[in-house]
Amino acid sequence: MLGLLGRLKRGRVELVDAGRRLEFGDGDGPAATVTVRSPAFYRQVLRGSLGIGDSYTRGLWDCDDLVALVRVLARNMETIDRVRRRMAPVLSPVQRVASRSWLPTPARSRRQIAAHYDLGNDFFELFLDETMTYSCAVFDTPGADLADASRAKLERVCAKLDVHPGDHVLEIGTGWGSFALHAATTRGCRVTTTTLSKEQHDYARERIEDAGLRDRITLLLDDYRHLRGRFDKLVSIEMIEAVGWQNFGTFFRRCSELLKSTGAMALQAITIDDRAYELEKAKRTFIKSRIFPGGALPSVEVMTREVARSTDMRAVHLEDITPHYPPTLAAWRRRLLENAGRVLARGYPERLVRQFELYFAYCEAGFTERRIGDVQMVLAKPAFRGEQAVLEGARHAVLAT
């Protein structure tokens, strides 16, 4: 552990253990102080991000600025990445064999989704805004609060697809119903939306009924691989990360098959740098083991390749919205900590608060340092002729920002 910290060159970490203070790195960049609460911390750190995450969840250490700490680590990953690339020819075959034991089948996908999204709707209510949007918001006006930014993102998707009353829109990944409700209410279209989470399904159903939109919104509890029908437009907002890297081609093929020949889809995806994709796709990390079991981030290059290989769609628009994710995550983390007492009062354990606190900080730092990104893509079928509308929708969205 101390040897690793001793190699820090960008940023500074102070380690406090039983009154002893050790400083590592330099003064240039973010700085954080880590306070060790148990000697077991050092053994856990040897397990990488999984051990770091588990030990924080267990209270083995604390930090005055988790985001700064992860930013320092991210800035010093270049040396580790070079070693991992040299080891890739050895590790890749092992990872491929191991991954066969946890292929993302429909049954396994359902269990993995439940592990995160079925924690309890009342838990997510305590840090999400009133729209219950659990994806990157877009802060397109000065002083916008989280709810305003969430609505701006939903409107951005509708504008890019030029959704209108005559459209039947398919959404893969309902969440708690924010997009379906926004599209049906503001555009007057029909929406069919599906989720694998029973908790989300029940919550979204209540919201749809309360809004009087049962005639416009059809809510399903089904896997995207089992959907049938042909739709004018398709939307999937930060759901592809859950399909598994083995199924990226299957996902895009099914999306293409579910669209009419004149249709188009809008995809919002958390991405990883193309150069890190092969290194990370099958790696067991804190996020992929404890937060989103079985998840994997695609890269833009991988998505583009799979679209070309598995579908007849073409990309007509790509926008990087990464700068909007750090303030989104900061807002979620702030709201979580402000409501920590209410979380505990509802019977949730303190370890869950600590786990999500680190998860939000971990991701905020990752987006800030561009280890990960967030993009919106529009993919079109062969007979789609709405490119001008896509460009206009994108232009108005950018001007609003």
Q: How much is the pLDDT for 85? A: 53
Using CA atoms, how far apart are residues 57 and 202, in angstroms rounded to an integer?
Answer: 29
Q: In this predicted structure, what is the pLDDT of residue 10?
A: 87
Q: How large is the average pLDDT for residues 361-376? A: 97
Average pLDDT over residues 275-301: 93
217 Rama sector, left if φ>0, alpha if ψ -120 to 50, beta otherwise: beta
For the segment 106-150, what is each residue's pLDDT rounded down to a tens digit? 999 999 999 999 999 999 999 999 999 999 999 988 889 999 999
Residue 102 tokens, joined: 């946890």
Split at pLDDT 50, 70, 90, the class of 250 is very high
Q: Give the position of tokens 């309890």.
A: 120
227 is written with which tokens?
A: 């959907």
Region of poorest pLDDT, from 102-106, 166-170, 261-265, 267-271: 102-106
Region 53-77: mean pLDDT is: 96
Is pLDDT above 80 for 61?
Answer: yes
Tell me: pLDDT of 82 over 70: no
The pLDDT value recorded for residue 398 is: 62
pTM, entire model = 0.93
Q: Return mean pLDDT, the chain.
A: 92
Q: pLDDT tier at 282 (50, 70, 90 boundaries)?
A: confident
Q: Tell me, what's the pLDDT at 7?
A: 78
Q: Residue 79 — pLDDT band, cuts 50, 70, 90?
A: low
- Give residue 384's pLDDT band: very low, low, confident or very high (50, 70, 90): very high
Q: Which span out of 28-42, 97-111, 382-396 was modeled with the highest average pLDDT?
A: 28-42
Q: What is the pLDDT of residues 145-192, one digit of tens each?
A: 999 999 999 999 999 999 999 999 999 999 999 999 999 999 999 999
Q: Exposed/middle/buried for 315, CB within 10 Å: 0-12, 13-18, 19+?
A: middle
Q: How far is CA 386 from CA 28, 253, 307, 350, 400, in A?
A: 49, 21, 19, 50, 21
Percentage, residues of the chain above pLDDT 90: 82
Say which range, 69-83, 153-167, 279-293, has the weakest mean pLDDT. Answer: 69-83
Report in angstroms the alpha-carbon separations of 352 from 292, 296, 334. 14, 22, 15
Active site residues: 363
pLDDT digits (tens, 9 = 90+) for 194-223: 999 999 999 999 999 999 999 999 999 999
Q: Are 248 and 298 within 8 A, CB to CB?
A: yes
Contacts of 344-352 with C-beta under 8 Å, sequence gap 24+, read 346/120, 346/122, 346/123, 348/120, 348/123, 350/59, 351/57, 351/58, 351/59, 352/119, 352/123
The answer to whether 146 and 133 have CB atoms below 8 angstroms apart is no
In order of their start, the domains of the chain are: 2-75 (no CATH), 106-400 (3.40.50.150)
Confidence of residue 27 (pLDDT cuts 50, 70, 90): confident
pLDDT band at 5 (very low <50, low <70, confident <90, very high): confident
Phi, psi angle pair for 80, to nearest 5°: -65, -40
Please tell me the predicted confidence (pLDDT) of residue 281.
92
Helix segments in 101-216, DSSP class H: 106-117, 121-125, 146-161, 178-187, 198-210
State residue 364's pLDDT score.
98
What does the DSSP assignment read for 347-366?
T--HHHHHHHHHHHHHHHHH
Average pLDDT over residues 333-347: 98
313 neighbors 267 (Cβ within 8 angstroms): no
**Residue 240, both tokens:** 């592809």
> Residue 396 and residue 390: Cα distance in Å, rounded?
10
